[in-house]
Amino acid sequence: MTESFRRSGEYPQGDNQQPAYPQQHASSPVNPEWPPPPAYEPVAPVAVEPGTTVWPGSGQGGSGGEGHGGGFAGYPGAPEPAAASTAVLMAEPVPATEAPAAAPKKRAKGPLALLAAVAIVAAAIGGGTAYGIQELTSKDTTSSSTSTTVVPTAKKGTIAGVAQAVSPSIVEINATSNAGSSTGSGVIITTSGEIITNNHVISGASSIKVQLSNGKSYTAKVVGTDSKKDLALIKLENAPSGLKTATLGNSDGVQVGDDVVAIGSPEGLTGTVTSGIVSALDRDVTVSTDESQSQDQQSQGGSGQWPFEFGGQEFNGDTGSSTTTYKALQTDASLNPGNSGGALIDMNGNIIGINSAMYSAASDSSSSSSSAGSVGLGFAIPINTVKSDLASLRAGGSDS
């Protein structure tokens, strides 16, 4: 031993130093080699996690394990550790078979949870959008004009499917005036009985009768006309319930070569279906705005040979001095007198145009009757032109 002890059991502290421990009086002999027991009960250890034991201190100052007598922090009788210090004793490792289960992961909270939710929603929307694009660009949809599919899935992309889906929305129109009567076609656009047609079909008429695809007839009145676009809006009086309305497409998406179907009442043959392709876009077609032209047509027995100009030439007679020009879709689908005001339809069943002008060899005096009929040169007013004009037509039109 390099240090000596006094008989009282105190550590030597110098001449003026106080004892490191209070003097103890034991009833049993004390080995001078042992430090005296503390005057307080040792604090019990606290287990904080497997393999580690903490001996809490009072937070009071002390010399720790480096004081006299070689005491250890946390050992009974030793000075307490310095403030905010903690003595740690490492226990024996726990066998792998007895290792506690890992604590469950906590759910993300706050901004992290919000970001995760947004990511999930975005992924779902993205997937739905991709599926929608795939459906729109599928090979059996031959028209690129719209995203709405009216045709039943089993007959998608077929003429029969288009005819089945759209024919109930196409009507025959008979207009009568003092000069006679004429026949045209129209498209039902609302369940209340609104029908879009050509202005030249009903211009000057004193009465209008509409025959539905089921053969039932109703009277109609003129709501509004626009002779500059050759459009008119009429409405059934006492319209029946359950009218089948047409779906108006997007003519801006039409491309040359798209398959199309035309439905109308040529020569009074209600619900006649023909087909073809879009031959050209934005053709300048000039038609008459003179009401007397319509009366002349009616006086001729409703031949439906509405005069128009195209490419600097007149067809079907004289257009007169009062004319208007609009951009039209050109089609080779067979159109004949009576198709005016009827529908030009894409292969999804959407209306992309209102048939308005067609050339017939019968109008040429040099042609024989055997050559009469469609020659594959027809024109339709783009449906986007119609849609942009609907509000005006409902208010009476530009001619009111």
> What residues act catalytically?
200, 230, 340
Burial (CB count within 10 angstroms: exposed 0-12, middle 13-18, buried 19+), residue 82: middle
Q: Which two tokens stand for residue 18?
A: 């106080």
**352 close to 277: Cβ distance less than 8 angstroms:** no
**Number of alpha carbons in the 13 Å side-chain half-sphere of residue 296:** 14
Distance CA 136, CA 250 (A): 14
Distance CA 396, CA 232 (A): 9
Helix H, strand E, coil C: the string for 42-53 is: CCCCEEEECCEE
Determine the residue type at 148: T
Which residues, other chains included, contact 46 with Cβ-Cβ below 8 Å and sequence gap of 6+? 53, 54, 55, 56
Of 154, 151, 227, 218, the residue nearest 188 (C-alpha): 218
Q: Which long-range contacts (CB under 8 A, 24 or more apart) does 239-245 make?
A: 239/191, 239/192, 239/193, 240/216, 241/191, 242/191, 243/188, 243/190, 243/191, 243/192, 243/193, 243/212, 244/168, 244/169, 244/188, 244/213, 245/169, 245/188, 245/189, 245/190, 245/191
Which residues, other chains included, contact 290 with Cβ-Cβ below 8 Å and sequence gap of 6+? 320, 321, 322
β-pairing, 350-360 vs 52-55, is unpaired
Burial (CB count within 10 angstroms: exposed 0-12, middle 13-18, buried 19+), residue 300: middle
